[in-house]
A = this chain, B = another copy of it.
Amino acid sequence: MPRPDPVSAGLQRVLDEVAPRTEGALATYIPQLAGADPDRFGIALVSMDGHVYRAGDGDAAFTIQSVSKPFVYALALADVGADELLARVGAEPSGEAFNAISLEPDSGRPANPMVNAGALLTTSLVRAGDPAERFELILACLSAFAGRALTVDEEVFRSELQTASRNRALAYLMASAGSLTGDVEATVETYCRQCAVSVTAGDLAIMAATLASGGVNPVSGERVLEESAAVRTLSVMATCGMYDYSGEWLLRVGLPAKSGVAGGLIAASPAEFGIGVFSPRLDERGNTVRGVAVAQEMAARFDLHLMHHPGPTAPVVYDTIGVEAGEGRRIAVIAAQGDVEFAAAERIIDATLAEVAGGATAVLLDLHRVTRVHHIAERMLDVLLSGLIEDGVAVALVQQGEVAADVAAGAKLGTREQALAWCHAQGA
């Protein structure tokens, strides 16, 4: 057996550590869940490069259940727009259980799309000519997130529909308050069918990674949703995804997540990866015991928390050189490297302004070792450089082609030599 890659090895270690935990109980409200193999346990992780790592039963099939909620929310976002959707379904955590009533007193607007009431309403808002088409669109959406054609576990669907009294109640409450305007029975049926879509931990990891990547499925390469919709979906998962455990979850794990009653769980680390876990034993809040443990273990082991400070960085400005250009003119070469976010941009600005204050008449910003320029940094550099130009300072940039900062001001050159030549020429 070949040595596993480090990521797979890490997943396996987490799985081995968490596997002994056998507390919790299967969901029992339908026979298909009550009859699940309680020992199944799979973990999958999908990177922004589209690598799929698995440990344990990463290919075991189960129904997606509530993990479908964020993805259908993303679909509705695209269909009705962010503002209109917010007017119909709130985004406030309610501190309540998944099946809480959680409706605004008069309007009947559900608190958020991660509790059942909000999920039902969200499903009803997917734009379609009829319920059959609506479900086809939902299934197509979930399939696009997963990167393969998903199917419905019809047996689970029928059982769900038979035991959907609570969801029917929520839907009828919303209908009576006027917040749910679609056909109640059709909405409940579509929602039950959406919950019965069959997935694996691997599928869930790809779906989560698609959110983490800002909406592009990293395996298929397909853009499934707009970046702004991915941000909104992850935000709602962060505050509401784990029901009345959401606050503590963010405290302990610090990643947007969503769980389902069949034992599925997703977590997403924005711009990093998506995780999918499957283990059917649930805690008293309805979250998969091992899934929660996997996420906590990984977060603690790898410092994945959203609020985590990633530690010190090497100097962004790794070199500053003054080049005399004759006739009192001096070219300042500022060489930067790495990931340029706010703090790095600030340092580049500081170094540049110091050089100009010291008499530089041209600035050569050498960014060829820079790997990424964040939007805020681009705006800051733009202001800096256009100001210099207005003040009569010549400005040249050396950038790596692929990650060229979107900065309007300044001459863009391919190498430091070309840039220096350009600067010299400016003096003429």
Alpha-carbon separation in the docked complex, A308 to B230 (Å):
8
Contact of A307 among B48, B171, B256, B307 (CB under 8 A): B256
B247 touches A240 (CB 8 A): yes
Alpha-carbon separation in the docked complex, A248 to B109 (Å):
14
A397 to chain B, nearest CB (A): 15
B112 touches A247 (CB 8 A): yes
Q: A-side interface residues toward B, CB under 8 Å?
A: 3, 5-7, 9-10, 47-49, 51, 86, 90-95, 101, 111-112, 165-166, 168-173, 175-176, 184, 212-214, 227, 230-232, 234-236, 238-240, 244-248, 250-251, 254, 256, 269-273, 301-316, 337-339, 341-343, 346-347, 349-350, 353, 369-372, 374-376, 379-384, 387, 391, 400, 402-403
Alpha-carbon separation in the docked complex, A175 to B163 (Å):
10
Contact of A374 among B3, B86, B213, B310 (CB under 8 A): B310
| Chain B residues whose C-beta falls within 8 Å of the C-beta of A236 in the assembled complex | 247, 251
Beyond contacts A270-B307, A310-B375: 9 other A-B pairs, Cβ-Cβ < 8 A, are A86-B251, A91-B248, A91-B250, A231-B309, A235-B305, A256-B307, A269-B342, A271-B341, A310-B339
| Chain B residues whose C-beta falls within 8 Å of the C-beta of A111 in the assembled complex | 95
| Chain B residues whose C-beta falls within 8 Å of the C-beta of A227 in the assembled complex | 308-309
A330 to chain B, nearest CB (A): 19
A153 to chain B, nearest CB (A): 22
Contact of A95 among B9, B51, B93, B306 (CB under 8 A): B93
The interface centre, meaning the residue of A227, A239, A273, A347 with most chain B CB atoms within 10 A of its CB, is A239
Alpha-carbon separation in the docked complex, A236 to B251 (Å):
7
A11 to chain B, nearest CB (A): 11
A312 touches B402 (CB 8 A): yes
A95 to chain B, nearest CB (A): 5
A307 touches B6 (CB 8 A): no
A380 touches B6 (CB 8 A): yes
Contact of A248 among B92, B246, B400 (CB under 8 A): B92
A257 to chain B, nearest CB (A): 13
Contact of A244 among B92, B347, B372 (CB under 8 A): B92
